[in-house]
Amino acid sequence: MPRSAKQKVTKAIFPVAGLGTRFLPATKSVPKEIMTLVDRPLVQYAIDEARAAGIKEFIFVTSRGKGALEDYFDHAPALEQELRKKGKDALLEVLKDTNMDSGAIAYIRQHKALGLGHAVWCARRLIANEPFAVILPDDVIAAEKPCLQQMVEAYAETGGNMVATMEASPEQTSSYGVLDPSAGASISGAVVAARGMVEKPAPGTAPSNLAVIGRYILGPSVLRNLNQMKQGAGGEIQLTDAIAEDIAAAVPTHGFRFKGERYDCGSKAGFLQATVAFALSRPELREDLMGYISKVAQVDKAAE
């Protein structure tokens, strides 16, 4: 077993410095990460997934105007006291998942929007010389076993670096980092060995249809690569490029084809799709919502 596989992944970086301009005007005063998917903010889904994978230290890379995000994880004594007084124990239990222990959460400022790689680099001093996870809250994944937990279990066998991947159509690959599988590597199994990664390849040039999405397990060497501050696609410092440098230096790197459904909640359409999917998965909401959807569908069909 590779030496790095013996180190448990207990730290996770959450890059949340983006302005969320696609959701204006809502994000003028509300950080995108605390916009609610049914009744929980996006960031809560990410936190719950990280906890299930054994993460103990949560590092948020933020920017100006994210105070509401920081407040979300604070205890709310007045609210808790009121719920306790009214005997609303079930709601008190719900609040417990939103609270973070002292010292478990840290906030780092990214003062300039220089790309995902730069956001991850901002947290380097809190990572030191350990493997770490990166979770993008915009990517919400519905899965029986949380995606990062699946990856941590696979990482225990492979070590090195690991990125979550999903199949993308040829028209979509130019919007993602794309895995370049090793020669002869099977791309039908869960774990795919990589010989390279390409950020936003030009249409028709993608090395595979395996797009990298917002879950990573990385070694500290990726942070050292980011120290070079090399600009990549879009003039930004790309995390994909730093991982590709590790591959060139013979650091084992794998794509992981997770089991689950990914929703791009950084887009309005993806956010709405996730809202419907997660609401339908809730027994107390499913019947009413299905009735409404059927009614709307019938009206649309009659109008055709």
Measured distance CA(14)–CA(59) in Å, rounded: 6
Q: What is the pLDDT of residues 183-233, one digit of tens each?
A: 666 666 789 989 988 888 888 888 888 999 999 999 999 999 998 877 766
Residue 18: its pLDDT value, please?
Answer: 82
Average pLDDT, the chain: 87
Rounded CA-CA distance 202/174 in Å is: 6
The C-alpha atoms of residue 10 and residue 130 are separated, in whole angstroms, by: 9
pTM (global) more than 0.85? yes
Give the per-residue pLDDT at 289. Answer: 92
| pLDDT tens digits for range 15-59 | 998 878 888 888 888 888 889 999 899 999 999 999 999 999 999
| pLDDT (average), residues 115-120 | 91
Lowest-pLDDT range, 68-72, 185-189, 231-235, 279-283? 185-189
Of residues 67 and 59, more confidence is placed in 59
Using the predicted structure, report yes or no on whether residue 144 has a pLDDT greater than 50: yes
Report the candidate in 49, 14, 12 with the shortest Cα–Cα distance to residue 258. Answer: 49
According to the model, what pLDDT value does residue 304 have? 63
Predicted local confidence at residue 77, as pLDDT: 82
Per residue in 152-161, pLDDT tens? 999 998 989 9
pLDDT digit string, tens, across residues 222-253: 999 998 877 766 677 889 889 989 998 989 99
Q: What is the pLDDT of residue 1?
A: 42
pLDDT score for 3: 43
Sign of the dihedral defined by the CA atoms of residues 83, 89, 95, 100, in that order? positive
Query: 3-state class of 297 per DSSP?
Result: helix
CA 95 to chain centre: 22
Q: Which pLDDT does position 225 carry in this prediction?
A: 92
Q: Specify the pLDDT at position 2.
A: 44
At residue 105, the 3 state secondary structure works out as strand
- Where in the chain are the domains? 3-266
126-142 pLDDT tens trace: 998 899 999 999 999 99
Does residue 280 have a pLDDT over 90? yes
- Top-tier CATH class for 3-266: alpha beta
Average pLDDT of span 171-182? 86
- State yes or no: pLDDT of 78 exceeds 50: yes
Higher pLDDT, 25 or 93: 25
What confidence score (pLDDT) does residue 11 get? 95
Q: What is the reported pLDDT for 300?
A: 66
